[in-house]
Amino acid sequence: MFASHEIRRTKAADEFRVVVIGDSGTWGWLLESDQTVAAQLEALGYTSDDGRRVEVYNLGYPGMALAKDLLMLHQVMEYQPDAVIWLVTAQSFPIEQQIELPVVQKNRFPIALATNAQYSEAPRLESDPPSFSLSDPRFVTPDLTLLGQRRELADWLRLQLYSFAWAATGIDQALPEEITLRQSDFEADYSWFGHAQEEPLDDLAFDVLQDGLRWTEGVPLLFINEPIYISSGQNSDIRYNSFYPRWAYDQYRELLGEPMQGRNYLDLWDVIPPDEFTDTPVHLTPEGTRMLAERIGAELESLGWVRR
């Protein structure tokens, strides 16, 4: 994927390179390419404090798992980012989520490198319980023979052929004409990833989060708890939305605050109006995305990283 991404181009001397990492909301689900948070942030026309033009690269990827974000962070460091913006939500933290995505399952070796703490002066302690094992059978060992790579080769050829149509039309995705909006009314359900009402959340992948934070040492990082839809419908006193019962999400925010102490951290969970969410509790309308981009831009200004 990185081989075909624009971030591979040579970094210009007058470029201040900003990378945005996140889930499908960051990637731009149900959005045109110029409506994503990265595109709208770049459209604000910032320069860096030393006068370089700000170029924002969208490295969001659909799916919720910190291990997926770690994979992206590990890879993107070779492209010399000047700043990283990392958006997360609680749905990416459960341990059982970490190896569910094919992009993680098929990249065991990069994940092994990314979780190797030898690069850090503050390595992961041996006593820290790991969120997953590198011997997990869900990791896929690739068959590098020509026969074993036939699916990948067929995908590569098909994408090359599609590129002519994309280049000619400027269209590389088909957005639905109608969207089924996120759920607003709920059952009286307190459960979240196997937890019942008011249980301690002691199985979240904070070790993977710490690995990601270590990989960005030396690069300015803005860490963001992304906005969620807050319902006012039936049983909204029990659940914020279809993803989160209130007790679990409130506990997640409290737990996240500890490793974020002393870091550049924005908790934007409730800053976007409910009407600006589309089909899930984390997917925004173009207007909601614009609001989020402006809030992030304002924070970058206050940190002194960029200016108008």
pLDDT at 302 over 50: yes
pLDDT bracket for residue 148 (50, 70, 90)? confident
CB atoms within 10 A of CB 61: 20
Full-model pTM: 0.92
CB atoms within 10 A of CB 152: 13
Phi-psi region of 100 (alpha: psi -120 to 50; beta: other; left: phi over 0): alpha
Report domain 2-122+204-232+247-307's class: alpha beta
* Mean pLDDT along residues 108-126: 62
pLDDT at 129 over 80: no
* Mean pLDDT along residues 78-84: 96
- The span from the CA of 64 to the CA of 306, in Å, is 29
User: Where along the chain do its domains lie?
Assistant: 2-122+204-232+247-307
pLDDT bracket for residue 23 (50, 70, 90)? very high
pLDDT in tens, 180-190: 999 999 999 99
pLDDT at 127 over 60: no
pLDDT at 3 over 50: yes
Higher per-residue pLDDT: 3 or 76: 76
> Mean pLDDT in the chain?
92
**The predicted structure's pLDDT at residue 1:** 81
- The span from the CA of 284 to the CA of 87, in Å, is 14
pLDDT bracket for residue 121 (50, 70, 90)? very low
pLDDT at 119 over 70: no
pLDDT at 5 over 60: yes
> At 54, is the secondary structure helix, strand, or coil?
strand
**The predicted structure's pLDDT at residue 82:** 98
